[in-house]
Amino acid sequence: MTDQTERILELFQQINAIPRCSKNEEAVCRWIGRWAHDRDLAVRSDAAGNLVIEVPASPGFESAPIVVFQGHVDMVCEKTPESAHDFSKDPIRHVVDGDWLCADQTSLGADNGVAVAMGMALAMDDQTPHPPLELLFTVDEETGLTGAQALAPGFVKGRILLNVDSEDEGVFTVGCAGGRDSHLTLPLERGPLGLKLQRFKLAACGMHGGHSGIDINKHRASANKILARGLDTLWHNGPFQLVRLAGGTTHNAIAREAEAVLVMDPARMDEAVSAVLALEQALRFEYRQTEPNLSLLLSPTDGDGPGEAVTESGTRTVIDLLLALPHGVSAMSADIPGLVETSANLAVVDDSKGPLKILHSKRSAVMSRLAAITADMNAMARMAGASVETGTEYPAWEPDMASSLLDRCKTVYQKRFAAEATVEIIHAGLECAIIGSKYSGMDMISFGPTMENPHSPMERLYLPSISRVWDFIAALMESYRPQPQQEGP
């Protein structure tokens, strides 16, 4: 492991010692601000909490253009069912597994804490000459790029942006999908529980989850969709009433767990358990390559919860809506083989506060297709009697294949590693889309070290890729050294 890799990992561990779930970044931003002040680096922040740290140019680079080195400080906070981790106060515990770094039963937060650590390491390194830098560290990226959306004119001066939020070393990202969140509210009519009815819990768990953009085409099961199929199967063996329903955690993660509490005649238990078991076996066959631990279990429960249940007709409406709402890949790109163009994520369902609340997230590289899949979802919601409010939305980042920054990066990578970098467009949201719309003339590219399974407890970072990304960054910085002017004849 190189000295720079060790420094980056040490900084990353310090970042991970501070709770930083989305919308809870104040403490880590204060810590970064103190770090900058201790090194006499100018810092500015805005009302949203975004930071810019100015790093003066190395000697000889004073006339070079300002380079913006950008990452986000927040993370998606996911943990396994057995984990007792408290994201509001506990540090993320690092675990080294061979060449991989992961966390102890939680998401790692390498997305995107490793970018922040790399930017800080670059500012600290006297051996890596560089042009003037702006370290742009944004907040609240994971809930809808809201930190980037709050950036004001003039907050960033540079017009060369290095976004270090991609997840495959040797790949340059030059475009991304746009996205839109929708919040559905379905009123639920409830009544007292029948005296002869018994509570049961239907739990869908054991699924991988993952990033709802880059993992949406990996045939991973949505626990919310699996739960809906389980409820539908139970219904065909006789009506029942829902007491409670919950699944998923955030808009950009595929739901890993979901459960429903329901009431029905206990005399039906054996028949119902057999029906659920048969469905579980069918699901395990469907997902035999990707979800070996998928579980769908019906069991009696005493449990806590309201002493009332949703009416039978209301229960059927809930099931129908969850079955009908789109989830997964909707369309593949007609222009780029293998690229997902449009998708949807049935992200979160929850009726704990009375009505059923559903968070539904959609992505597309074609904004008219994003509007179309939104219209489909809105129609389904209306037919069920639900209202819809649009939440966070952001545009697609249209690729510029003639970008001078892209050409420079490809040339530097080829010279440094004697290999061609891959250039791609991804089916995920990147802050480049927002930043480019706010600052005209911004030349942008995204790259980063290799990681897998972000937004899940299986998230892990490939350690050897850190040094390769660092070597590329160092060579890229050197490429901005101003050339001495030739004297005239």
Residue 205's φ and ψ, nearest 5 degrees, are -155, 180
Q: Is 111 a catalytic residue?
A: no
Q: Is 126 a catalytic residue?
A: no
Which residue, chain included where needed, has tokens 């010692």? 17
Angstrom CA distances, 31 to 6, 76, 133, 246, stand at 20, 20, 20, 36
Catalytic hit among 78, 111, 141, 452: 141
The candidate with the shortest Cα–Cα distance to 150, out of 336, 25, 290, is: 25
Measure the CA–CA gap between 77 and 87, rounded to whole angstroms. 7
SS3 269: helix
Beta strands 340-350 and 328-332, pairing class: antiparallel
Q: Which helix (H) or strand (E) holds 406?
A: helix 404-417
6: alpha, beta or left? (left if phi > 0; alpha if psi -120 to 50): alpha
Give exposure, 47-84, as e/b (b: 16+ Cβ within 10 Å). Answer: ebbbbbbbbebbeebeebebbbbbbbbbbbbbbeeeee
Catalytic hit among 25, 74, 111, 125: 74
The separation between CA 465 and the C-alpha centre of its own chain, rounded to angstroms, equals 21
SS3 181: strand
Measure the CA–CA gap between 275 and 78, rounded to whole angstroms. 31
Q: Where are the alpha helices (H) located in 344-403, listed in sequence order?
A: 367-384
Measure the CA–CA gap between 246 and 195, rounded to whole angstroms. 25
Q: Identify whether the C-beta of residue 169 lies closer than 8 Å to the C-beta of residue 355.
A: no
Residue 469 CB partners (closer than 8 Å, separation 6+): 118, 164, 169, 447, 448, 449
Q: Identify whether the C-beta of residue 151 lies closer than 8 Å to the C-beta of residue 374.
A: no
* Residue 433 half-sphere exposure toward CB, CA atoms < 13 A: 24
Residues annotated catalytic, as ranges? 74, 141
